[in-house]
Structure 1
Amino acid sequence: SGHDLVSKLELLCKGGFSEVYTGECRSTSTPVVIKHISKKDVEFVKVNCQGNVYDEILEVVLMEQAAGRLCDGSFENPAVIGLMDIFHLKTEVIIVMERLPDTVDGLDYICEEPVPEGQAKVIFKQIVNAALLMHKNGVFHRDLKLNNILLNRNKGTPEVRIIDFGCGDFIENEPFRDFYGTPVYEPPEHIREETYKAEATTVWQIGVMLYIICTMDSFDTLVYMEEDNEVVENVSMECNDFLSQCLALDPMQRPTLEDLLLHPCVFHILKHMYPVLYHISCRTS
């Protein structure tokens, strides 16, 4: 069983349908993340592999497809957490995933010390790029938030990993009406009882995460909709512009993920980190 192969160290977090532990493989001592989900809460989807049809865990299929590891022609997306193993037990399913050394989630990361704007831009360049690749691979995470972004602290540049596809769906199923995710981060169009689309929602949730980092305050969509939202203090004009575009109450007014990659708030980071990509972008934009 999975318990024979991995050992649990400590509870990382507990959600409505699962418990997540840090641990390690007994045979190799490799650090891992271990997610326990009760069988009754697991959603399955049929997968066709080489002519044979299998029932597979929807969350796992979404995670693997978001990373570009399932279908030919998919885009490789290393920012998605890596799957290591799955165990089907009598009453629960165990999903074993990679664990980067010295890693915390985004909320813990910003609580340890304030994040300078330059570092926040580097982080968000990675998040926007990862979200764009997820969408190109046909996957809608639907619950992007700082708790679901892992960052390692042992490098000069924090490395992003996106986790928890338990609320996700395939983009081809849009427009969506029912919301699965964190209610306080839901897009305004859902509060207005309209349908919502994948890309506009992901852009909204990227804006929410940056807003929390810039203000070091909580966020609630309903409160944001009712407030006269002013410029965020102590950040640059381009950062404020990025926020106001992502947090447009009208989803039609929000930029696309590709637009966000070309926004000065992350484009200058693109130029610094990936000069070849920067020149390609200049030629194609």
Structure 2
Amino acid sequence: MVKELKKKGKSPALRRRLEGNNSMMSAGSESVKDSRPRKRKKAAGETPRRRIMVSQMAGASTSCQGTNRTMRRLRSNTTKEAEVSSPPAKKKKKGLLHQVLTKEPPSSWDISSESSSCPVPAEDFQKPLKRKKMKMEEERVDSPRAEFQEKYVQLHQLGDGGFGSVFAGYRIEGKLPVAIKHIPKDNVVIKHKDENGRELAMETVIMLKLRSATVPQLAMVSLLDWYDLDQELILVMERPMFAEDLLVFLKERGGCLNEKEAKIILKQLVEAALYLQNANIFHRDIKVENILIETTTEGLQVYLIDFGLSCFDDRRKHELLCGTPEHLPLDWFMHNNYCAEPTTVWQLGVVLFEVVHMMRFNSHSFLKNKLKISKRLSKNCQDVLTKCLMVDPVDRPTLEHLLGHPWFS
């Protein structure tokens, strides 16, 4: 080149500049050649690496920031290819309860904060168990009610007393008419312990005993079923279809009955009271509201109901004051106690008084002579009333003597 420049007549300065450039180019080419990395020898059995051009994956980069971004994409894509080439083993899914109990938090939990506050409190796992236990208890209590509802249908209300309510109904099988009595357990004042030590309402015990009698009494309604629920008792009894209580029966007939009808009713009541006495049962609340009258083709039929205040007599003196306050026996005021048979005779005299008189009876008014036996009644009827309402219980007749009175002949 120098020779050519000489031949062309170039100036000395231009020739020196060209010679300097040629020397720099030769030196740079030698340095680049020396700095080029040597090729690594492959080991035996080594899998050759796959070479990927950056420009093919992310395109060319024109800045430092672009270069970094490209390298990150390269690493990410390389990792994904590795995962595709060797899929990981399947992980067994664990439920939340298993993770908490084994103290193995999910990957999304902050383990550093787990010790300070557990995401699901341990007591929360006890709540379903408590709810299940409560549900089982409710099912246990409701099972007798469900049994009752499957067997009987309850209709309108027949009456409401101080201890319970009575509803009309029928048994689904056979469409048998029944009376359904609901007794809140808070209203059960008289209880009885059976031979197993179980405490039951006395009314239930009495009616079960009457049901098991070999010779039933016509004046007693039979107990068909009973159900012991959590808050109440349900007694299912037979219901005479065309019966009504004696108080309503009297009102429909002007307030009183003639002696012939009164005699039929009272005789059946005395026979029923004598039957209870022989069974060691003391009713304690015989009154017109607790007597049903059924009119049949054969005549009047009497039923004695409501044994809520009844008890076993045991031939003892009773101190618990029970019954209707207006009809309390005078011997309780005199001696602060009373016996079963004289009290029953007194109550039968009260019923007869209200049947043949157009007025209600009151013990205090009778003692003050404000209530008197009507002289319009027959001598035998007056005699029965006088003897039943004697002030001294010793002077009252026994049930057997009363049943043998000439008035009933």
Residue correspondence of structure 1 range 162-177 to structure 2 within 5 A: 162-172=304-314, 174-177=316-319
**1:249 counterpart = 2:391:** yes
Residue 91 of structure 1 and its aligned partner are, at CA, apart by 1.4
SS in 2 for 1:180: coil
Q: TM-score, normalised by structure 1?
A: 0.85
**1:16 counterpart = 2:162:** yes
Match of 2:226 among 66, 73, 86: 86
Distance 2:321 2:391 in 1: 17
| Alignment partner, residue 201 of structure 2 | 57
Residue 251 of structure 1 and its aligned partner are, at CA, apart by 0.5
Amino acid at match of 2:222: G
SS in 2 for 1:109: helix
Amino acid at match of 1:13: G
Residue 54 of structure 1 and its aligned partner are, at CA, apart by 4.5
Which deviations, in whole Å up to 9, do the C-alpha atoms of 1:39-67 show, x marking residues without a partner?
A: 2333442223xxx56443310222343x3
Distance 2:171 2:202 in 1: 24
CA RMSD after TM alignment:
1.9
Name whichever structure is richer in strand by fraction: 1
SS in 1 for 2:194: strand
Distance 2:257 2:365 in 1: 25
SS in 1 for 2:296: coil
Distance 2:373 2:284 in 1: 27
Which deviations, in whole Å up to 9, do the C-alpha atoms of 1:177-207 show, x marking residues without a partner?
A: 2211111111011233531100000000000
SS in 1 for 2:385: helix
Distance 2:314 2:342 in 1: 14
| Alignment partner, residue 211 of structure 1 | 353
| Alignment partner, residue 25 of structure 2 | none
Aligned length: 260
Residue correspondence of structure 1 range 1-285 to structure 2 within 5 A: 1=145, 2-42=148-188, 43-48=190-195, 54-65=198-209, 67=210, 69=212, 76-113=216-253, 114-172=256-314, 174-227=316-369, 230-266=372-408, 268=409
Q: Which structure is richer in relative contact order (CA contacts within 8 A, separation 6 or more)?
A: 1
More moved, 205-214 vs 17-26: 17-26
SS in 1 for 2:240: coil
Distance 2:285 2:383 in 1: 23
**Change in CA separation of 1:173 and 1:46 when aligned onto 2, cut-off 3 Å:** farther
Residue 111 of structure 1 and its aligned partner are, at CA, apart by 1.3
Distance 1:229 1:221 in 2: 9
SS in 2 for 1:219: coil
More moved, 228-237 vs 187-196: 228-237
Percent identity for Structure 1 against Structure 2: 35
More moved, 237-246 vs 100-109: 100-109
Give the unaligned 5+ runs of structure 2. Answer: 1-144
Distance 2:200 2:372 in 1: 47
Amino acid at match of 1:123: I
Q: TM-score, normalised by structure 2?
A: 0.60
Name whichever structure is richer in helix by fraction: 2
Amino acid at match of 1:32: V
Amino acid at match of 1:205: Q
Please tell me whether the aligned partners of residues 152 and 160 of structure 1 are also in contact (alpha carbons under 8 angstroms). yes
Amino acid at match of 1:69: S
